[in-house]
């Protein structure tokens, strides 16, 4: 098994943090995402430096139960572990584009947003959701990597589902349109006189990046070459194996600090959180 703590330790041992396979063609945005996801997979499986593709695939299969598509969440699932959503950004303060997938505190196997391969890849009902956000300026260089526990980043599922349902109900009640509900928001049918054109209505969820959302607890260091910033609820931190916690707590290059963040469901309630940072200087 692997976890965030092991991934941070594996990253801290690297000497070269340039992401290979980032520039694969003209579509830099797509290739940048592929390079970042590959880096994240290597971090969790400690497969850095392994060139043989067959060997790498064998290692990945030991640690991951699912690797998703660009259309449906999550991007990765750890065997008997967390679900990971990997996001890239070229600017620290830019909102994260979640598209039709609303923010998640947890991932549920009965969600209509996941596919059958994800649902059936292992025996599971609920997985903790982790956002992995990589900051890649306009180069192959990875500047920072964030691991954010979904339960301190997103409100309960019902907050987003209720909003979606409210929008769908408003459209459905309109006398001027023919509306059909869908897994997204819905579809407006026959919008033209010939009744041959339909309008697909979908959500475009945007999430404030952790650089801004948690600026009151982290100290982003723009002078270093690279840094990881991890925010896990203290309760979540204690669910990881004692071996992983002992390893990361004894690493002199990694700092662990107790902080408090606002509860996404009740901001006046504060959640105890572990802020874990690793910095690599020039």
Q: Note the pLDDT of residue 236.
A: 98
Cα–Cα nearest to 148, from 35, 271, 56: 271
Q: List pLDDT tens digits, range 60-86.
A: 999 999 998 777 889 999 999 999 999
Say whether pLDDT at 129 is over 60. Answer: yes
Q: Which of 48-57, 233-242, 253-262, 269-278 has the lowest mean pLDDT?
A: 48-57
Q: What is the mean pLDDT of the chain?
A: 90
Task: Tell me the per-residue pLDDT of 1-29, one tens digit each, with 9 for 90 and over.
Answer: 899 999 999 999 887 655 543 333 334 44
pLDDT value for 28: 43
* Tens digits of residue pLDDT in 172-187: 888 889 988 887 888 9
DSSP characters over 189-203: E--STTS---EEE--
Instruction: Please state the rounded mean pLDDT for residues 142-148.
Output: 94
């Amino acid at each position: 098994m692997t976890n965030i703590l092991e991934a941070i330790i594996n990253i801290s041992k690297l000497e070269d943090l340039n992401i290979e396979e980032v520039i694969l063609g003209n579509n830099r945005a797509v290739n940048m995402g592929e390079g970042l996801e590959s880096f994240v997979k290597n971090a969790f499986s400690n497969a850095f430096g392994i060139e043989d593709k067959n060997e790498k695939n064998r290692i990945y299969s030991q640690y991951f139960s699912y690797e998703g598509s660009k259309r449906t969440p999550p991007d990765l699932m750890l065997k008997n572990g967390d679900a990971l959503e990997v996001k890239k950004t070229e600017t620290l303060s830019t909102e994260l584009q979640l598209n039709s997938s609303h923010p998640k505190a947890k991932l549920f196997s009965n969600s209509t947003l996941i596919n059958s391969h994800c649902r059936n890849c292992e025996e599971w009902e609920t997985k903790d959701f982790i956002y992995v956000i990589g900051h890649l300026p306009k180069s192959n260089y990875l500047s920072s990597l964030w691991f954010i526990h979904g339960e301190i980043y997103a409100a309960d599922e019902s907050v987003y589902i209720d909003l979606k349902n409210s929008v769908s109900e408003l459209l459905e009640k309109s006398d001027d349109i023919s509306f059909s509900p869908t897994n997204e928001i819905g579809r407006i049918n026959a919008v033209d006189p010939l009744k041959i054109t339909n309008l697909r209505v979908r959500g475009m969820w945007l999430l404030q990046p952790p650089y801004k959302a948690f600026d009151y607890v982290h100290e982003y260091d723009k002078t270093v070459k690279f840094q990881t910033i991890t925010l896990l609820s203290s309760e979540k931190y204690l669910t990881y194996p004692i071996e992983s916690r002992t390893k990361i707590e004894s690493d002199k290059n990694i700092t662990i600090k107790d902080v408090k963040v606002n509860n996404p469901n009740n901001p006046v309630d504060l959640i105890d959180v572990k802020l874990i940072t690793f910095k690599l200087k020039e």
